[in-house]
Amino acid sequence: MNINQVSKKLGISKDTLRYWERVGLLKPIKRDVNGYRDYSKYDINWIFYIRALRNAGMSVDSLVKFIHLYDEHSDKEKRKQMLIEQRDALLKDLNERRKTVNYLSYKINHFDTTLLTYENEKLAYESKEDIR
């Protein structure tokens, strides 16, 4: 699969695909006889994975570092542990965002009442429960 097809399949620009490869998010892609990139299905899977993590807000730099560390460890359990840590970090961010959504919901529900004090805004924001 050439770069144009991958670009369309995954919705990532060709420039970005080349950029990701250059900075080390992708291992060097195999080339065909003309020197054109020829992506394997494993490459596609990997790019899919990278895209998910980029969309979730992980920086390119920290992803590169993660990949290097991940590759250094042939220890299976260690690798699994790294995935778990990565997942938990995203989960933490998720909860931060949930706070903001709850805060907005609080504002909506109290829209007709008077202006909130700073302390109440803070409480609404920090609130653990989901508000609908």
Coil, helix or strand at residue 33: coil
Minimum CB–partner distance for residue 44 and a second copy (Å): 5
Angle between helix 14-23 and helix 3-10 axes, rounded to 10 deg: 100
Partner interacting with residue 97 (select from a second copy, DNA, none; CB below 5-8 Å by kind): a second copy
By CB under 7 A, is residue 33 in contact with DNA?
yes
- Picking from 51, 53, 22, the residue whose alpha carbon sits closest to that of residue 37 is 22
- The two tokens of residue 57 are 């807000």
- The two tokens of residue 62 are 């920290």
Query: How many CA atoms lie less than 13 Å away from 75 in the CB half-sphere?
Result: 7
Partner interacting with residue 86 (select from a second copy, DNA, none; CB below 5-8 Å by kind): a second copy
For residue 11, the Cα-to-chain-centroid distance in whole angstroms is 15
| Mask for 61-90, x = binds a second copy (CB under 8 A) | ---------------x--xx--xx-xx--x
By CB under 8 A, is residue 107 in contact with a second copy?
yes
By CB under 8 A, is residue 13 in contact with a second copy?
no
Helix (H) or strand (E) holding 81: helix 76-109
By CB under 7 A, is residue 37 in contact with DNA?
yes
| Mask for 4-23, x = binds DNA (CB under 7 A) | xx-------xxxx-xxx---
Minimum CB–partner distance for residue 115 and a second copy (Å): 7
